[in-house]
C-alpha cells in the first residue's frame, strides 16, 4: 500500500520532532506542510487565534469536531490545565489512524481521547457514553456543511452552557455560510469574526467565535 500524505507527515514528525514535546510536534507539522506538502491543519496563523481564544476561555472540557492528523488537538492539549480533557471526533479511519500515534508522540494522550465515528451519532452519546456534562469549548473543523446541524445538535443535547465557546475554522474558505447566518441571527450567540488566511496560503479565510448566551 502506498504511503499517504498523512502518513508522511507523521513519519516526518517522528523522525524530526522532540518526542513528548507538543510544541515541537506542532512546529514540525507546520514545517512539513508549508515546505513539502500542503495539508488541512488549522496551521500557524489561525493556530495563534485558536491559542488566544482557548487561553481566554481556559476550558475544562473541550470538544473538537474533525481531528485530521491531530494538529489542533495537540495545539489545544498543550494549553489544557491539569485534570482537563479534550474529546476529538474523527469520521475517517485513515485520519484517526495517523492522529492516534501523532498524539502519543506529542505526549498528550492522557488528556486527549479520539472518538471514531460520525459527529451526528457521537454527539448524542457524549453525556451517557463519555460522561460529559457540558462542554466549555468546541473547535469546529470538520465537514463545512455539518457545522450548523452539529451546532443545533449540541444545543438540543444540552451540552452547551451559558458562556460555552464555539470556534469554527474555515468560515470564509472553503466556507460555512449557513453556520455564520445561524450563529449571527439565532439570538443564542455573541459572535466575533477573526479574519485570517487558509493555512500555508495567502487565500483569505476567517474563524468565527460564537459564545452561547444560554437557553
Ligand atoms: O475540508 C476540510 N476539513 C474537513 C475534513 C474532513 C472532516 C472529516 N470528518 C471528521 C469528523 N466528521 C467528518 C478543510 C478543507 C480546507 C481546504 C482549504 C483550501 C483548499 F483549496 C481545499 C481545502 C481547509 C481546512 O482548514 C479544512 O478544515
Ligand atoms: Mg480547517
The interface pTM score, or ipTM, of the predicted complex is: 0.99
Element (H, E) at 153: helix 147-156
- pLDDT tens sequence across 160-197: 999 999 999 999 999 999 999 999 999 999 999 999 99
Contact between residue 50 and residue 207 where contact means Cβ atoms under 8 Å apart: yes
Q: What is the pLDDT of residue 84?
A: 98
C-alpha span between 16 and 21 (Å, rounded): 12
The whole-angstrom separation of Cα 74 and Cα 126 is: 21
- The pTM assigned to this predicted structure is 0.99
Task: Tell me 174's DSSP state.
Answer: I
Q: Cell numbers of 141, please?
A: 473543523
Residue 204 in grid coordinates: 483569505
Share of the chain above pLDDT 90, in %: 100
C-alpha cell at 82: 491539569
Residue nearest to atom 8 of ligand 1 (CA): 142
Mutate to test the pocket of ligand 1, among 172, 174, 200, 207 (most ligand atoms within 8 A of CB): 174
| 51-88: pLDDT as tens digits | 999 999 999 999 999 999 999 999 999 999 999 999 99
Counting runs of H as helices and runs of E as strands, what totals does the chain give?
9, 7
Alpha-carbon distance of 151 to 124, in angstroms, equals: 12
Q: Please compute the mean of the pLDDT values over residues 19-43 and round it to a whole number.
A: 99
Ligand 1 pocket test, candidate residues 46, 50, 66, 121, most atoms within 8 A of CB = 66
What is the side-by-side strand order in the sheet with 135-140? 112-116, 85-90, 61-65, 135-140, 160-168, 204-212, 189-197
**Atom 18 of ligand 1, nearest CA residue:** 174
Task: Give the residue numbers marked as catalytic.
Answer: 141, 144, 169-170, 199
Q: What is the separation of C-alpha 29 from the centre of its chain, rounded to a whole number of angstroms?
A: 15
pLDDT-based confidence at residue 8 (cuts at 50, 70, 90): very high
CA distance 43 to 87: 20
Angle at 169 between CA 167 and CA 174, to 5 degrees: 150
Amino acid at each position: 500500500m502506498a504511503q499517504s500524505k498523512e502518513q508522511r507527515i507523521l513519519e516526518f514528525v517522528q523522525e524530526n520532532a522532540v518526542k513528548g514535546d507538543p510544541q515541537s510536534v506542532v512546529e514540525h507539522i507546520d514545517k512539513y506542510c508549508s515546505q513539502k506538502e500542503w495539508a488541512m491543519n488549522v496551521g500557524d496563523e489561525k493556530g495563534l487565534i485558536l491559542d488566544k481564544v482557548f487561553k481566554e476561555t481556559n476550558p475544562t472540557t473541550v470538544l473538537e469536531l474533525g481531528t485530521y492528523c491531530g494538529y489542533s488537538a495537540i495545539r489545544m492539549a498543550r494549553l489544557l490545565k491539569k485534570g482537563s480533557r479534550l474529546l476529538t471526533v474523527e469520521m475517517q479511519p485513515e485520519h484517526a489512524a495517523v492522529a492516534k500515534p501523532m498524539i502519543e508522540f506529542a505526549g498528550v494522550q492522557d488528556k486527549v481521547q479520539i472518538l471514531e465515528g460520525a459527529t451526528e451519532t457521537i454527539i448524542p452519546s457524549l453525556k451517557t457514553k463519555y460522561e460529559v456534562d457540558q462542554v466549555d469549548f468546541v473547535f469546529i473543523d470538520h465537514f463545512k456543511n455539518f457545522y450548523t446541524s452539529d451546532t443545533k445538535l449540541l444545543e438540543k443535547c444540552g451540552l452547551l452552557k451559558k458562556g460555552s465557546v464555539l470556534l469554527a475554522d474555515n468560515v470564509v474558505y472553503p466556507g460555512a455560510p449557513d453556520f455564520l447566518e445561524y450563529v449571527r441571527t439565532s439570538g443564542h450567540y455573541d459572535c466575533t469574526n477573526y479574519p485570517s488566511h487558509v493555512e500555508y496560503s495567502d487565500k483569505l479565510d476567517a474563524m468565527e467565535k460564537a459564545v452561547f448566551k444560554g437557553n
